[in-house]
Amino acid sequence: MDEPNLTQPGDSYASRFPYVVPESLDDLVGPQHGTITWPRGDHEAYELDDADDRQLFYQRVMSDASTLEELCNALNKDLLIELWPQLRPPRYCVRRWHDAFPELAALGSGGVWQ
Query: Tell me: the pLDDT tens digits for 85-112?
Result: 999 888 888 889 999 999 999 998 755 5
Q: Is residue 83 part of a domain?
A: yes
Note the pTM of the prediction, 2 decimals: 0.81
Q: Is residue 15 part of a domain?
A: no
Q: Is residue 18 part of a domain?
A: no
Total count of domains within the chain: 1
Q: Are 84 and 53 in contact (CB under 8 A)?
A: no
| Mean pLDDT estimate for the chain | 85
Question: Does the pLDDT value for residue 33 go beyond 70?
Answer: yes
Percent of all residues in the chain with a pLDDT value above 90, rounded to a whole number? 58
Q: Are 70 and 27 in contact (CB under 8 A)?
A: no
3-state secondary structure of 46: strand
Structural domain including 103 reads: 29-107
Q: Is residue 9 part of a domain?
A: no
User: How is residue 76 annotated by DSSP?
Assistant: B
Q: Is residue 7 part of a domain?
A: no
- Report the alpha-carbon distance of residue 68 to residue 28 in Å, rounded: 9
- Report the alpha-carbon distance of residue 55 to residue 53 in Å, rounded: 6
Question: Does the pLDDT value for residue 32 go beyond 70?
Answer: yes
Mean of the pLDDT values across residues 8-17?
60
